[in-house]
Chain A
């Protein structure tokens, strides 16, 4: 398990920024100034802090979060049963494939879970076949049938 490392400097202002700005960033010519005003900060301080939070990895990024499927692409969750003695080898195969966005080891018989993301729907099946051909293992697809609304916000 990767050890979470608390950033050296993450003060209350940073916490307020992370909690307040997980959406609703203004679509106006000076958006940082508008967001800063609501937080009682100066525009340049907000910009500097977002830059520092991104550099330290507290934020993966700052900007629009896209729904890949609505943008015309295709996404599917997928899983495999990978024998323990082949685990690293199979993980390395997926690491090299650009269609694989995330890959996690999980505690289950189905022990490798990953996200396939491609430009077209047909690309999902092609990626599935490519993985099966490269590994000799069966790939189960779990595409979403329906997504239930979540706020997608985390408390810092």
Chain B
């Protein structure tokens, strides 16, 4: 998967669909009408963007809170840089981890280089999942923490310029 250059039509399709597909029998034809193209071209473009990873997936984007997953903990781990990619792949594969990233440390206050977001219906459920991650990481962990969210201050979603 490599970066691809988006042309004006790709950008117009992104802008026309990033808040959702039309809830009509032929949504791609409706997008095509909006951007001045054809249904076949819109389908071809979206398939190409999906292939290139610009589109992660197409479908339902659930709201965790509305599904009862109201507790989220950002688990953070300090592991050896030589091991972090192997461990990150392992943790990302857990079905309850919704995001998993390697990020830079901010020493001396922030020694953590591996981030994994965990959601649950209760604080206990999140703690149990965190313990599963800790067990998988084992002795490679030098330091760890969990940051629970206590308040959503803003949530507008990412907007990509069209």
Contact = CB atoms under 8 A, between A and B. Distances in A.
A134 interface: no
Nearest to A95: B154
B27 A32 contact: yes
B120 to A, nearest CB: 11
Given A4-B70, A29-B39, A50 B100 contact: no
A106 B62 contact: no
A156 B61 CA distance: 11
Contact of B43 (A23, A28, A102): A28
Contact of B55 (A21, A53, A65, A154): A65
Centre residue among B53, B66, B109, B160 by max chain A CB count within 10 A = B66
A140 B17 CA distance: 32
Interface residues on A, range: 35 or more
B160 A59 contact: no
A63 B56 contact: no
A29 B26 contact: yes
Size category, B interface: 35 or more
Contacts of A23: 57-59
A50 B43 CA distance: 21
A60 B157 contact: yes
Most chain A CB within a 10 A radius of its CB, from B3, B27, B153: B153
Contact of B54 (A54, A71, A77, A154): A71
A27 B59 contact: no
B119 interface: yes
A104 to B, nearest CB: 4
A143 B104 contact: yes
A132 interface: no
Contact of B155 (A32, A50, A102, A119): A102
Interface in A47-84: 47, 50-51, 53-54, 56-68, 70-73, 75, 77
B150 A27 contact: no
A58 B101 contact: no
Q: Which 6 A-B residue pairings sit nearest by Cβ, starting from the closest?
A: A148-B92, A23-B57, A63-B21, A105-B151, A103-B154, A148-B88
14 contacts: A18-B60, A53-B60, A54-B20, A58-B66, A64-B18, A66-B18, A71-B6, A72-B5, A73-B158, A95-B153, A98-B159, A106-B147, A146-B102, A148-B91
Interface of B: 3-6, 14, 17-21, 23-29, 39, 43, 46-47, 49-50, 52-71, 74, 85, 88-89, 91-93, 95, 97-104, 106, 109-110, 113, 115, 119, 145, 147-161
